[in-house]
Amino acid sequence: MASPRIIMKLTVVAARKEPGDVLVIDVKHPRKSLLPPFEPGSHVDVHLPDGKVRQYSLCGDPMDLSRYTIAVKREQAGRGGSAWIHETVAVGSTLPVSAPRNHFPLDIGQGPAMLLAGGIGITPIVAMARVMERLGRPYELHYFTRSRALTPLLSVTEQALDASNVRLHFDDEPETRQDLESLLAGRSADAQLYYCGPPGFMAAVDRAAAHWPDGTVHFEAFQPPERDGVPPAPFTIELRDGTVVPVAADTSALAALRTAGVLLMASCENGVCGTCECGMLEGQPIHQDAVLSKEARALRFMPCVSRATGVLRLDL
């Protein structure tokens, strides 16, 4: 995969509205016929004119590198990035886009894939389904939304995928509803679970899949989980060379490290993109990101949102 530090000025070649206040955008390189390759689950950073960076999953066909496709839901309570894209981006616009990176890899060689999407969480999941289908690998896609009329990318799931692998669940069509507990209660041998969606959906799947073995559950969130309401407390970071960096209650670890002269790359500063990830040697972290798996949490740390109690030794 190309370095995500590469930023390409791509041209918008198609932009169409989809249900659910979603804008689907296709971008191409203005001179090259092929873009850097990507795996299902990958996302790109879109760089906005005010310096903001937003992450969007690639929902197109990973075998078609002539274009990238992203789907942007207008977030009414968002930080303004999606609104800017909806109001400004049109065919012919130039969009600075990073090379893809992947924090949500699909292990094609493993057993059957259970793919669960809530709303706009369909974007990485549909790319996974496309690849499983092309390779003839077993999968089930369950797509949960409030109603058929508000479901983005419905035509893609219906046209690009074998209908026998796809189940649509609409809140307002009782006969289609599916209870997550019963869906995930019985796990077929070697099955792997992949899921993506809004915070309530993520929490519900997390609860329903609590009995699945470690290493079989994979997810990507667009927002970090709800904080537990406990006010942040100060803590201390210790670097490999023994340097001590105090982190005040009202400062992020990332900001404290920057003040101490430790320059880490960062992008979302919201615990969802994985850019600021660093190694952790010892201590009691309070993980608040939406990127690290349970296993990775023993060794990795996201200083833009995560905190700790006492002294945290980082591999910096």
- CA-to-CA dists, residue 238 to 202, 247, 271, 283, 310, angstroms: 33, 11, 21, 10, 10
Task: Determine which helix (DSSP H) or strand (DSSP E) holds 20, and give its type and residue range.
Answer: none
Q: How far is the CB of 141 from ligand FES (least distance, A)?
A: 27
Q: How far is the CB of 258 from ligand FES (least distance, A)?
A: 12
The CA-CA-CA angle for residues 287, 38, 202, to 5°, reads 35
Q: Which is nearer to ligand FES, 194 or 301 (CB)?
A: 301
Here the tokens at position 38 are 């990507």
Binding mask 217-256 for ligand FES (x = CB under 6 A): ----------------------------------------
Residue 102 in the binding site for ligand FES (CB under 6 A): no
Q: How far is the CB of 252 from ligand FES (least distance, A)?
A: 9
Pairing of strands 244-247, 192-197: unpaired
| Count of beta carbons in the 10 Å neighbourhood of residue 141 | 24
Q: Which is nearer to ligand FES, 208 or 273 (CB)?
A: 273
Residue 316 in the binding site for ligand FES (CB under 6 A): no
Q: How far is the CB of 278 from ligand FES (least distance, A)?
A: 10
Q: Which is nearer to ligand FES, 165 or 223 (CB)?
A: 223
Q: Which is nearer to ligand FES, 58 or 184 (CB)?
A: 58
Residue indicated by tokens 């019985």: 186
| Count of beta carbons in the 10 Å neighbourhood of residue 87 | 10
Q: How far is the CB of 81 from ligand FES (least distance, A)?
A: 14
The phi, psi pair for 55, rounded to 5°, reads -100, 135
Binding mask 258-297 for ligand FES (x = CB under 6 A): --------xxxx-xxxxxx------------x-x------
Report the SS3 class of residue 87: helix
Which amino acid type is present at position 216?
A: T
Residue 302 in the binding site for ligand FES (CB under 6 A): yes
Here the tokens at position 114 are 């259970």
Q: How far is the CB of 70 from ligand FES (least distance, A)?
A: 18
Q: What is the CA radius of gyration of the chain?
A: 20
Which amino acid type is present at position 145?
A: T
Q: How many residues bind ligand FES (CB under 6 A)?
A: 14
Residue 304 in the binding site for ligand FES (CB under 6 A): yes
Residue indicated by tokens 């924090």: 103
Q: How far is the CB of 274 from ligand FES (least distance, A)?
A: 5
Interface residue list for ligand FES (CB under 6 A):
266-269, 271-276, 289, 291, 302, 304
